[in-house]
């Protein structure tokens, strides 16, 4: 079945550091890929998405490129802020591949940014 | 525009008791999802509705869990009887249709079973 693997946390960085959170996936069909973010005390919010190979999703300074050859969708940001502290989830949707038509999530990566 | 609304936000019950969660999706969204998120894990799909029809409930533990979406709008997820292992956050999400449409999540209901 489909699966998503993302780097274990917590990831602790200083403000203005560069961020990369790795995400790789296994899917039968041609999935759409997503990054969701969960800020403390809040619900899941869509951060960015990409629906086909080589697409780049971007939002709030974050970027991720759909790499079919490496089955990856790594999240990057050039300069993080304290307000970026949250839990980040990589996810895929693969209805054509026969998976449930919902999202398959990774376990989440807790990001902590120190001033 | 209002987001996905869920209630209650928190629920504490003793094992073997029943519990119900309510979800109101974003207006106009035909597809509704229920997910369960265990501590330290990502959400896992329980059931998906297209309007009032449950089109994917393969992950729903049917011996104790049930769900309904009368009139294709609000939805209720019920557990009866609850077990200790049911402690989790129950998330509701909605989307315009399905497949690649963006899913919008509610704040969730945190259930604690004692």
pLDDT tens-digit map of A31-56: 999 999 999 888 899 999 999 999 99
What pLDDT, on the 0 to 100 scale, is given for residue A34?
95
Is B41 touching A (CB cutoff 8 A)? Answer: yes
How far away is chain B from the Cα of A104, in angstroms, using its nearest Cα?
7
pLDDT at B55: 84
Q: Using CB atoms, which residue from B91, B99, B106 is nearest to A93?
A: B99
pLDDT value, residue A49:
94
Most confident of A20-24, A99-103, B70-74: A20-24
Per residue in A57-82, pLDDT tens? 999 999 999 999 999 999 999 999 99
Whether the pLDDT of residue A98 is over 70: the answer is no
Q: Which among B4, B33, B100 is the nearest to A102, CB-wise?
A: B33
Whether the predicted pLDDT of A101 surpasses 80 = no
B-contacting residues in A 21-40 (Cβ below 8 Å): 32, 36
Whether A29 shows a pLDDT value over 90: the answer reads no
pLDDT value of position A2? 87
pLDDT of residue B110: 96
- What are the beta bridge partners of residue B57? none
Contacts of B59 in chain A (CB under 8 A): 100
State residue B33's pLDDT score.
94
Cα of first residue to Cα of last residue in chain A, in angstroms, is: 41
Give pLDDT, residue A40: 86
Query: A11: which 2 tokens?
Result: 């990831």
Predicted confidence at residue B57, as pLDDT, reads: 86
Q: What does the radius of gyration of chain B's CA atoms come to, in whole angstroms? A: 13
pLDDT at residue A94 above 90? no
- Residue pLDDT tens, chain B, 114 long: 689 999 999 999 999 999 999 999 999 999 999 999 999 899 999 999 988 889 888 889 889 999 999 888 999 999 999 999 999 999 999 998 765 678 999 999 999 999
CB B61 within 8 Å of CB B76: no
Q: Which of B65, B63, B78, B62 is nearest to B23 (CA)?
A: B78
Q: Other CB atoms closer than 10 Å to residue B45's CB: what's the count?
A: 23
* Average pLDDT of the residues in A15-19: 97
């Amino acid at each position: 079945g489909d699966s998503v693997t993302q780097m274990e946390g917590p990831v602790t960085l200083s403000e203005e550091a560069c961020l990369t959170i790795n995400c790789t996936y296994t899917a039968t069909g041609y999935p759409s890929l997503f990054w969701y973010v969960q800020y403390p005390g809040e619900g899941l919010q869509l951060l960015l998405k990409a629906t086909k190979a080589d697409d780049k999703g971007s939002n709030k300074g974050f970027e991720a490129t759909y790499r079919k050859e490496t089955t990856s969708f790594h999240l990057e940001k050039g300069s993080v802020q304290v307000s970026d502290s949250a839990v980040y989830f990589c996810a895929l949707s693969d209805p054509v591949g026969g998976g449930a038509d919902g999202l398959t999530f990774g376990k989440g990566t807790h990001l902590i940014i120190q001033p | 525009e209002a987001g996905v609304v869920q209630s209650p936000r928190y629920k504490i019950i003793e094992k073997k008791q029943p519990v119900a969660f309510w979800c109101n999706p974003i207006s106009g969204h035909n597809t509704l999802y229920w997910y369960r998120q265990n501590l330290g894990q990502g959400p896992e799909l329980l059931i998906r509705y297209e309007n009032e029809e449950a089109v994917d409930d393969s992950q729903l533990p049917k011996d104790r869990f049930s769900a309904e979406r009368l009139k294709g709008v609000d939805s209720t997820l019920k557990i009866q009887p609850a077990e200790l292992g049911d402690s989790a956050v129950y998330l509701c999400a909605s989307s315009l249709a399905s497949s690649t449409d963006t899913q919008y999540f509610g704040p969730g209901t945190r259930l604690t079973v004692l």
